[in-house]
Structure 1
């Protein structure tokens, strides 16, 4: 295993451990659940990496996504947490665009589409770039829907969460799609 991957694993373990300790101490069971999901996803990505030799770019992107998620639920910001920060005031209530949460969804599902493309590419011909881009886009969208199910489960299992209502879920899906679309376009136009 290359040294930079070892460093990335160590950083992920440290951040997940610190996040777990923080969320347990603050009795934030919503994020305790999310950390457990991140651990399962990390194990899944490890298996994918062993099979498909994922690029360091995708591994780093997935790690940054996890770090952004941990930071979003733990770092205090303007009387709340970073996830509630409205980065730009593009559209106000009831939609509230553009929030840190929406950026994390955009970024995360762009990286997810890249992950799927690296897993699918070996089974497709070199000329199947459109197929690779479209299937990676829809696979990332499916993963985004699964993410929203995990958020819904959190609202069922944990009495108080920071998960928003219907508008939040819909906007999460929109930003998942936007990130996956940008990645899909990158996959299609990338020369190699």
Structure 2
């Protein structure tokens, strides 16, 4: 049987569509019998599709650096520096596993929320915690939920999602979101959240007059991380997020 006739006969065996060398780089059969395919997209398209995200991210980071320097906000320059260290890691990860557009934009949005939280001032008449009238200190629900908590939950939920994309790629691209794998993804998100607290602790040691908060603030940050990571893994498990 020739190659063309063999390919043409694939739908009869339950494949959703014909697989041709021009369309896919490899195919893997998942446990439900369908064929999971990874499109053989040109490598250049990986960066072309992410260019708007890169421009948006670079734009707000440049603006944040200018504002932080103008205000002599050395604490926040440390945080911006940590983001600049993480960006190449994200770029290398994207080059290897091709993160979804939604994941890239979510990571960028998280960074934007972080910049706004530390640099945007709010009226002192608004409900805030502490003496720093910035968005991070704002109570969204008085004495219950701060903007800071929202950023933590969103950011490390996104981190868990990215970890899932990395794990799935490592398993061949056709991995099912089993509870065991979701536990690994959840734990990975928590690990990155703990690393973030270490960075904040370093900022406190370097610049004592910070808006990081004390032990209680760290505890609530970790609680927010748990909630964000938990929502993410449930969404992946039941919503079949890519």
Q: TM-score, normalised by structure 1?
A: 0.92
Q: Which residue of 2 aligns with 1:179?
A: 228
- RMSD between aligned residues: 1.4
SS of equivalent to 1:77 = coil
Deviation of residue 134 (structure 1)? Answer: 1.0
Q: Which residue of 1 aligns with 2:24?
A: none
Q: Which residue of 1 aligns with 2:70?
A: 25
SS of equivalent to 2:168 = helix
* Counterpart selection for 1:68 from 113, 117, 123: 113
Q: How many residue pairs get matched?
A: 186
Deviation of residue 4 (structure 1)? Answer: 4.6
Q: Which residue of 1 aligns with 2:219?
A: 170
Distance in 2, matches of 1:132 and 1:17, equals 38
**Any conservation in 2 of the 1:107–1:179 contact (CA below 8 Å)?**
yes
**Any conservation in 2 of the 1:129–1:187 contact (CA below 8 Å)?**
no
SS of equivalent to 1:54 = coil
**Any conservation in 2 of the 1:72–1:83 contact (CA below 8 Å)?**
yes
Return 5+ residue gaps in structure 1 as ranges.
Answer: none
Give the helix-richer structure, 1 or 2.
1
Deviation of residue 189 (structure 1)? Answer: 1.3
SS of equivalent to 1:159 = coil
Distance in 1, matches of 2:176 and 2:165, equals 15
String of CA shifts for 1:141-191, please: whole Å, max 9, x gaps.
000000000000000001311111011000000001100000011121133
Distance in 1, matches of 2:161 and 2:176, equals 17
Return 5+ residue gaps in structure 2 as ranges.
Answer: 1-44, 125-132
Q: Which runs of 4+ in 1 moved over 6 A?
A: none
**Any conservation in 2 of the 1:116–1:136 contact (CA below 8 Å)?**
yes
Within 5 A, what are the aligned runs for 1:109-148? 109-124=156-171, 126-127=175-176, 129-148=178-197
